[in-house]
Amino acid sequence: DVKVTQSSRYLVKRTGEKVFLECVQDMDHENMFWYRQDPGLGLRLIYFSYDVKMKEKGDIPEGYSVSREKKERFSLILESASTNQTSMYLCASSDLAGEDEQYFGPGTRLTVT
């Protein structure tokens, strides 16, 4: 079974803190993605990566950065957390080829106070 894991289900951080969200997939997938999900807005793509050490901005990259040092791991970094970054963060991975099926992790609900 495809498995995508995220480091935490729930996280509470203070404004200004640096926050790391980790994602690991065990399917040897080329592509990895970070989304945030907010009520009424669906999922919005923050960053994605097609290969190790490669990253591309999604639709809402401001305030975030990413790191992909190994194929199986994709990290999302909030350099200085703000209250408007309180959200559900979802990581996903997919094959290079195929029908665009993405496999999602369980999500991390981040609250910034």
Partner 1 sequence: GQSLEQPSEVTAVEGAIVQINCTYQTSGFYGLSWYQQHDGGAPTFLSYNALDGLEETGRFSSFLSRSDSYGYLLLQELQMKDSASYFCVRSGSARQLTFGSGTQLTVLP
> For 36, phi and psi rounded to 5 degrees?
-120, 145
Number of chain positions touching partner 1 (CB under 8 A) = 25
Q: Are 19 and 79 in contact (CB under 8 A)?
A: no
Selected from 55, 105, 108, 110, the binder of partner 1 by CB under 8 A is 105
Half-sphere exposure of 55 (CA within 13 A, CB side): 19
Q: Cβ of residue 71: shortest distance to partner 1, in angstroms? A: 16
Residues 26-85 contacting partner 1, CB under 8 A:
31, 33, 35, 40-45, 48, 50, 56, 58-59
- Which residue, 24 or 105, has its beta carbon nearer to partner 1? 105
C-alpha angle with apex 26: 95 to 6, nearest 5 degrees?
105
Half-sphere exposure of 102 (CA within 13 A, CB side): 15
- Which residue, 33 or 85, has its beta carbon nearer to partner 1? 33
Q: Cβ of residue 15: shortest distance to partner 1, in angstroms? A: 26
